[in-house]
Homo-oligomer: A and B are copies of this chain.
Amino acid sequence: MSVSPAPKSRVNARGAIPDATVGRLPMYHRCLVTMSARGVLLVSSEELAEASGVSSAKLRKDLSFLGSYGTRGVGYEVEFLLYQIARALGLTQEWPVVIVGIGNLGHALAGYPGFASRGFSVVGLFDTDVNRVGETVVVAGKSIVVQDLTKLPQVVMSTGASIGVIATPENAAQDVCDLMVRNGISSILNFAPTLLEVPHGVDMRRVDLATELQILAFHEQRKSQIAMTEANAG
């Protein structure tokens, strides 16, 4: 028996999917859903890449991390590839989700059809505002009543929810986060501008509605600077 060489990397050692690839899978998934709805049966890497806004080389590389699900000379079966991507992302199982903070943003999130269609089922809506508690919100065709935040523990317990969404004002976010973590939520999506402290083992992702706007402003500014420079030069 010979000595086997050490694995090149610790992180992506065993069949792991690179972060950059995981970040693009939702986009591929969305494009395939659209194609599937149109009745498309087969798709080439060139076509799917074009629809997703990436290069075909990148697309094929990304898909190769999931497995070998295409046919050389032919392409990919839309339904089959769709299923494999959904499976890789974890969308073939049901994920009970609780949402806290039912203002405008919370309503928008609760009503977003893209959640239900991807296996996320909203099992609880919570707020602390007495004017909002008791309100009925229609989520994926079903009516859900907004409950007081104090009811969160029993809902998490009874539904086994592990994912929580924070759509509260800034100053409430950390308390809500702590409450979620204490009650067994292990993945948190945070729409409040605050950076939240979570214990090790809990995943937190933050979506700042203003970040992309600032990046647009950066590019817009650069465009006009370049225009000015060229005007002076020419």
Which A residues contact B (CB, under 8 angstroms)? 22-23, 25-27, 29-31, 51-53, 88-91, 93, 95, 97, 103-105, 107-109, 111-112, 114-115, 118-120, 162-163, 165, 186-189, 193, 195, 203, 205, 207-221, 223
CB-CB nearest in chain B for A195: B53
A112 x B26 contact (CB < 8 A): no
A187 to B224, CA, bound (A): 12
A53 to B111, CA, bound (A): 31
B91 x A214 contact (CB < 8 A): yes
Q: A109-B209, A188-B216 are in contact. List 16 more A-B contacts (CB 8 A).
A: A23-B215, A29-B214, A30-B193, A89-B218, A90-B214, A90-B218, A90-B221, A95-B217, A105-B108, A108-B108, A120-B217, A163-B220, A205-B212, A205-B215, A205-B216, A207-B207
**B residues near A221, Cβ cutoff 8 Å:** 89-90, 93
A27 to B186, CA, bound (A): 24
**B residues near A91, Cβ cutoff 8 Å:** 214, 217
How many copies, total? Answer: 2
- Partner of A214 from the list B105, B118, B162 (CB cut-off 8 Å) is B118
CB-CB nearest in chain B for A86: B214
CB-CB nearest in chain B for A95: B217
**B residues near A25, Cβ cutoff 8 Å:** 214, 218
CB-CB nearest in chain B for A210: B114
In the A-B complex, the 7 residue pairs with the closest CB atoms: A90-B221, A104-B108, A105-B108, A90-B217, A114-B210, A104-B107, A187-B216
A115 to B208, CA, bound (A): 11
A212 to B89, CA, bound (A): 11
**B residues near A31, Cβ cutoff 8 Å:** 195
**B residues near A207, Cβ cutoff 8 Å:** 207, 209, 212
